[in-house]
Amino acid sequence: MSGWHCRSSPSRSKAATPRYSRGMRIALTGASGFIGAAICRRLHQDGHLVQGLVRESSRRDHVDPFMDRAIVGTHDSKENMSDLIEGAEALVHNSVDWKVLKNESFDKHLQTNLVASLQLFELAAEAGLPIVYISSVAVHHHMSDRWNGQVDDLHPTRPGNYYGALKASLEAHLWALHTSRDLTFASLRPAAVYGLDPHIKRSIGFPILRDIASKQSYERAGGGKFIHVDDVAACVAACLKRPRGSAGIYHLADCYARWADWGLISAGLLGVEATVDQNSPTSSKNTFTKEALVQELGVPLDRGHEGIRQHLETLMHAMQEQDLLAPVQG
């Protein structure tokens, strides 16, 4: 299945040519965050110039070397939006105001996260910029049995929380702009994203390594689908090469892992015999298909559990270097 071409009109598909073959000036929201910084590094590596939107309170030392220009502010400021879009040839929208989503009023969340994003999309569409949107698998909660556990981009979005509803709503508006304004866009739906976060304590695996080292035990039921942050960034870079007039949705999920798997890998790296609750199922009921992702973006997503092991090893050494990992209790 061709996630881009099957939804473009025949005339667009026939005339489709790669949009760019050179470095671009790319506007990026949420540039200093965990995912945003990885995107910024990858785009810089690929020869693009990044003008990134960063909050005044954000740490920037890890991302400044990869930005050509920083716009300090928020994406709900019309002035900041205009500054961000000025001179850009593409937009990558990655930012979410988690504070208002979690701790403040619903109305504030709508204005800051939903309305402001729609206004940003309108500006980009008016300027003729392609958009890469960082969505989430959270657009899904109530999964249909009609897909027989093999979920592709045609599965309806039926979220189970405000975050998923936000992502699904913005995707719907991107489709509307694609139809009415010929907007070129891609929406990427990452599962749980792992990797070394600039704020190391936020890294997936941090509390697991700490618990294994101090308690020699780990108990957390369930698991989830995971993807490395560098693979998210690789998919963003690949989306920028898609044909003019194209549109598509991609689920980004490398592998399923139980929290018990994370615990067992951590115990092995730390060299301890740990008690880990392994009662949860070893596979998930639903799987996101990868065919369109591989065929159209060329990103295989095949790190598997070995990728998780490598991440935990890197994280373990970083924690030890910063004295954040207690000596193993013997």
Give the model confidence (pLDDT) of 126-135 as tens digits.
999 999 999 9
Six-digit token string for 92: 């990558």
pLDDT number for residue 4: 32
**Residue 3 confidence (pLDDT) above 80:** no
Contact 301, 244 (CB under 8 A): no
Contact 38, 134 (CB under 8 A): no
25-35: average pLDDT: 97
**Residue 277 confidence (pLDDT) above 80:** yes
Using 50, 70 and 90 to split pLDDT, how confident is the model at 15?
A: very low
Mean residue pLDDT across the chain: 91
Tell me whether the CATH fold assigned to 5-13+25-193+227-252 matches the one assigned to 197-224+255-285+304-321: no
**Residue 19 confidence (pLDDT) above 80:** no
- Helices (H) and strands (E) in the chain — how many of each? 12, 14
- Cα separation, 85 vs 124, in Å, equals 7
**Residue 2 confidence (pLDDT) above 70:** no
Percent of the chain, pLDDT > 70?
A: 92
**Residue 10 confidence (pLDDT) above 50:** no
**Residue 9 confidence (pLDDT) above 50:** no
- List the chain domain ranges: 5-13+25-193+227-252, 197-224+255-285+304-321
Q: What is the pLDDT of residues 169-192, one digit of tens each?
A: 999 999 999 999 999 999 999 999
Six-digit token string for 14: 């026939």
Six-digit token string for 214: 């101090």
Contact 258, 280 (CB under 8 A): yes
Q: What is the pLDDT of residues 141-175, one digit of tens each?
A: 888 888 787 888 888 899 999 999 999 999 999 99
What's the maximum distance between 2 C-alpha atoms anywhere in the chain? 69
Using 50, 70 and 90 to split pLDDT, how confident is the model at 21?
A: very low
Q: What is the pLDDT of residues 111-127, one digit of tens each?
A: 999 999 999 999 999 99
Contact 66, 41 (CB under 8 A): yes
Q: Which fold has domain 5-13+25-193+227-252?
A: Rossmann fold (3.40.50)
Output phi, psi for 258, to 5 deg.
-75, 155
- Cα separation, 174 vs 58, in Å, equals 28
Correct CATH for 197-224+255-285+304-321 of 2.60.40, 3.40.1350, 3.90.25, 1.10.10: 3.90.25
Pick from 240, 245, 253: which is nearest to 292 by CA? Answer: 253
Q: What is the pLDDT of residues 54-104, one digit of tens each?
A: 999 999 999 999 999 999 998 889 999 999 999 999 999 999 998 888 876
**Residue 261 confidence (pLDDT) above 70:** yes
**Residue 329 confidence (pLDDT) above 60:** yes
Q: What is the pLDDT of residues 288-308, one digit of tens each?
A: 989 889 999 999 999 999 999
pLDDT number for residue 330: 59
Q: What is the pLDDT of residues 201-259, one digit of tens each?
A: 999 999 999 999 998 899 999 999 999 999 999 999 999 999 999 999 999 999 999 99
